[in-house]
Amino acid sequence: MVLSKTERKIIEDSIRDIKDFPKPGIVFKDITTLLNNKEAYGVLMNHLYQRYKEYNLDYIAGIDARGFIFGAALAQMLGLGFVPIRKKGKLPYTTISEKYSLEYGVDEVEVHIDAFSEIPNARVLIIDDLIATGGTANAAATLVKQTGAECVEACFIIGLGFLDGIKNLEEKTDVYSLIEMD
């Protein structure tokens, strides 16, 4: 199940470029203009539902913070539980964590140790709005595996084509990105 040309255009046209945010040289892909556009948001969520309803998933895991918006909505549509993968220090119970490199310095994501424990060998879909270097998603996939669950696929609305993020992540899990952008 892939996007039709028309669906792709509706979604693509709804994403806004913000130059030099959050710092000079970065073009920020703003998905708030997708979310407040009921046609684009509907087309996107319907596509995700159609694609993943056959995947026999057990959980959707969303990456902090924009992955929560798409992930929680999709989990509800598919009748599945939702698990947040959060930036360090936000989750209240026992966590496992994974560090990853940024351009300057490191960051860390965490998940509750028992997040997927109700279903043995749970089949998990990771979701975020965008993949750039792939560092965040790689760390998220590592965490899912460390809990004993299976990362079936990692899904992104936007793949930033000029970086090797998707290629790197594909060593760990299947990857699906709806729209390639520069």
Give the residues lining the site for ligand AMP (CB under 6 A): 26-29, 63, 66, 128-137, 165
Task: Give me the catalytic one of 7, 16, 103, 171.
Answer: 103
Task: Give me the catalytic one of 7, 12, 39, 66.
Answer: 66
Respond yes or no: is residue 51 known to be catalytic. no
Tell me the DSSP string of 137-174.
HHHHHHHHHHTT-EEEEEEEEEEETTSSHHHHHTTTSE
Largest CA distance in the chain: 46
Residue 119 CB, shortest distance to ligand AMP, in Å, is 26
Respond yes or no: is residue 39 known to be catalytic. no
Residue 142 CB, shortest distance to ligand AMP, in Å, is 13
Q: Considering the complex, state which of residue 1 and residue 26 has its C-beta at the smaller distance from ligand AMP.
A: 26
Q: Considering the complex, state which of residue 27 and residue 119 has its C-beta at the smaller distance from ligand AMP.
A: 27
Q: Considering the complex, state which of residue 28 and residue 176 has its C-beta at the smaller distance from ligand AMP.
A: 28
Residue 17 CB, shortest distance to ligand AMP, in Å, is 9
Residue 92 CB, shortest distance to ligand AMP, in Å, is 22
Tell me how far the alpha carbon of residue 78 is from its chain's centroid. 16
Burial status of residue 11 (CB atoms within 10 A of its CB: 0-12, 13-18, 19 or more): buried
Token duo for residue 90: 């936000």
Tell me the DSSP string of 60-128.
EEEETTHHHHHHHHHHHHHT-EEEEEEETT---S-EEEEEEE-SSSEEEEEEETTTTTTSTT-EEEEEE
Q: Considering the complex, state which of residue 29 and residue 79 has its C-beta at the smaller distance from ligand AMP.
A: 29
- How many Cβ atoms are within 10 Å of 50's Cβ, its own excluded? 10
Q: Hey, which residues are catalytic here?
A: 66, 103
